Structure formats: structure tokens, C-alpha cells
Amino acid sequence: MARIGFLGLGNMGGPMAANLLKAGHEVRGFDPVPAARERFAAAGGTAVESAAEAVRTAEVVISMLPEGRHVRAAYLEPGGVLELAPAGALLIDCSTIDVATARAVAGAAKERGLAMVDAPVSGGVAGATAGTLTFMVGGEPEAFARAKPILEAMGRAVIHAGPSGNGQAAKICNNLMLGIQMISVCEAMALAEKLGLSHQTLFDISSKSSGQCWSLTNYCPVPGPVPTSPANRGYQPGFTVAMMRKDLKLAVEAALATGARTPLGAQAYQLYNLFASEATEGLDFSAIMTMISGQSH
Ligand code: NAD
């Protein structure tokens, strides 16, 4: 069992760290938000008052932070992870961030002789809680081999995506598909209704036809066909509109930086920007159905 320093005990990091405890690891967790530290302590973890206390004695450091700038700050600033982690420690960043930042931080870690992988996740808060996340991991094969058994305590699929940054590349491309597909299902549901075809009937047919996709069969954006989907509980998340906007922004920026053509991704990003407001940002991303069907906004 490993001595783990965990940074970022939020909606995802909190339950992930709790699953590491359940697997028998010794976890020292830090989050600047006192309520997050209290939740972690209540789950049996050792909540500490600074990142330094979590990292200084760690064999493995795991971070689950909001954005690239938080990751840069936590790792690169004076008194950050790269300065404090003991020699030989393995660094695992599970946040969803841009590929360039992931590669820059891993490169700086390498200069200090520390192995690092980027390991963003799919599966949301439900997957984090149940320990069924999918991890997409970028880094050298030796670092991946060391990270795998640790990540398996928090997920059911741990996949090596290639060198440093490729975990983030996989995550961004996956969510580009997800954002576009969700909007496609919303548009088809809205059109079906106008044509006198019920949501349930379209679902029954398309879930067995070529329009089938995860956004339809697992996460249907209208109430009824998939009882567990957020549409049945007032679009409580799930995966928020704010998160989908963030991930589509990462995709659009990555496409601009590399010259890839993602016209539908750009359109999906614009539609989520149009939909996002103070009232909707915290809703599940499938709530964009309400805008597309003309029910709101
Ligand atoms: P969150 O905002 O709930 O949690 C992030 C936590 O990091 C916060 O509690 C914040 O206080 C803490 N933090 C910020 N700077 C810190 C620092 N220097 N040291 C320690 N803690 C620090 O966000 P979340 O929903 O847990 O998401 C985390 C990451 O996971 C994001 O990159 C997100 O895109 C990604 N993600 C989220 C979901 C989801 O459904 N929530 C799904 C997949 C991926």
C-alpha cells in the first residue's frame, strides 16, 4: 500500500480519495476549502492544512484540480509539488486540462527526476463515487505501469494513451464527440416532436438504428426513455454545462493550435456559450435540450 498525497478534494477528488482509503492506502489530502477537508476527514482520511504537508512524505502525489492554471500553480510555483515531492515519487494529475500544460508540467517534473503521468477521467461524480472511472493515461510506459494499480482502486478501466499529454488529448477528443452527439440527439428529439413522433418512439427506433449513441441510450436528454438520465430529475448534474463548455473550449483551442478542422465542435461550443447563464451553468449539460426545443432561453 502506498503513502499518497492528494490535492483537490472537490466533487471528483473527494470520492476518489475516499476510494483510495477503502483500498488500504494511506492518504493525506489537502484542499483550500475547509468543507472539502472536513468531508475527507469524515471519510477516514488525514486532512492536512497545506499542500506541503500532503506532498512532503508522499510516495505518490495525485491531483484533481479545476483547470490548467491550478495545475501549473500547484506543481510549478515555489513551494509546489515539484519542489517538495521526495525523490522517486510518482506524480499523477487527473484534472482535465490542455495538452500543452500537461506536457510542460510533466517535462519540468522529468527535469527534477520525477515521473509524471496525466490521467484525466470519464465517468463523472457517480463513477468517482462508485470507483468505476475510466482513466486515460499519458506518460512513459514505466510511469504508467506504476500508476496503474493505484488508479485501479478508483476506476475499472485504466488505458495507456501514449506519451505525456496523450491522456488529455484522448479526454478532449472524447468530450468533443460527446458535446456534438448530445446536441444531435436534442435536435432529433425536438424535430420528432414537431413531426408528431413521440420521444419514446424515436428512442425505441434510434436506439436500435444507426443514430444510436451514448447520449441517446444512456443519457437521453428528455424525460422518460432512460429513467436514470438527468432529464428525469430537473437536469441536476451529472456533468455540468460549465464543464462541457470548458472541455469544448479546450477542444476548439487545440484544433486552432494544430490546424485540425472541427467545425461542428466550434458550433457546439457556441451553442453551449449561448445556453450558459448563471441559472443554467450548474445544470447537467443535457439541459441544452430546453434551449433547442424552445422551452427556454
Ligand atoms: P471541483 O471544483 O469540485 O474540485 C476541485 C477542487 O480543487 C476544489 O475543491 C478546489 O478548492 C481544489 N483546489 C484548487 N486549487 C487547489 C490547490 N492548489 N491544492 C489543492 N486543492 C485545490 O471540480 P471537480 O468536479 O472535482 O473536477 C475536477 C477536475 O475533474 C476538473 O478538471 C474537471 O474538468 C474534471 N472532471 C470533472 C467531472 C465531473 O463530472 N465533475 C468529470 C470528469 C472530469
- Residue 96, ligand 1, Cβ within 6 A: yes
Q: Which CATH architecture has domain 3-162?
A: 3-Layer(aba) Sandwich (3.40)
* Residue 139 neighbours by CB under 8 Å, 6+ apart: 106, 115, 116, 117, 118, 147, 163, 164, 167
Nearest protein CA to atom 1 of ligand 1, as residue: 10
CA distances from 125 to 32, 87, 122, 239 (A): 20, 33, 9, 8
**Residue 223, phi then psi, degrees to nearest 5:** -65, 145
Distance of CA 151 from the midpoint of ligand 1 (Å): 17
SS3 content of the chain, % helix, strand, coil (to 5): 50, 15, 35
* Residue 72 neighbours by CB under 8 Å, 6+ apart: 101, 104, 105
- Residue 70, ligand 1, Cβ within 6 A: yes
* Average confidence score pLDDT of the chain: 97
Supply the pLDDT for residue 297: 53
Per-residue pLDDT averaged across 217-228, rounded?
A: 97
- Residue 30, ligand 1, Cβ within 6 A: yes
**Residue 202, phi then psi, degrees to nearest 5:** -60, -40
pLDDT digits (tens, 9 = 90+) for 33-62: 999 999 999 999 999 999 999 999 999 999
Distance of CA 80 from the midpoint of ligand 1 (Å): 17
pLDDT digits (tens, 9 = 90+) for 171-211: 999 999 999 999 999 999 999 999 999 999 999 999 999 99
Specify whether the CB–CB gap between 96 and 173 falls below 8 A: no
Specify whether the CB–CB gap between 285 and 243 falls below 8 A: yes
Q: Of these residues, 22, 110, 171, 208, which one is catalytic?
A: 171
* Host H or E run for residue 173: helix 166-194
pLDDT digits (tens, 9 = 90+) for 274-294: 999 999 999 999 999 999 999
- Residue 174, ligand 1, Cβ within 6 A: no
- Residue 125, ligand 1, Cβ within 6 A: yes
CATH assignment of 169-292, given 1.10.10.10, 3.40.630.30, 3.40.50.300, 1.10.1040.10?
Answer: 1.10.1040.10
Cis peptide before 238 (omega within 30 of 0): yes
Instruction: Work out the angle at residue 102's Cα, subtended by the Cα atoms of residues 56 and 53, and round it to the nearest 5 degrees.
Output: 15
Express as a percent the part of the chain with pLDDT over 90.
96
pLDDT digits (tens, 9 = 90+) for 85-116: 999 999 999 999 999 999 999 999 999 999 99
pTM score: 0.95
**245 SS3 class:** helix
Q: Which three cell numbers stand for residue 49?
A: 492544512
> For the chain, which residues make up each domain, given as ranges?
3-162, 169-292
246 a catalytic residue: no
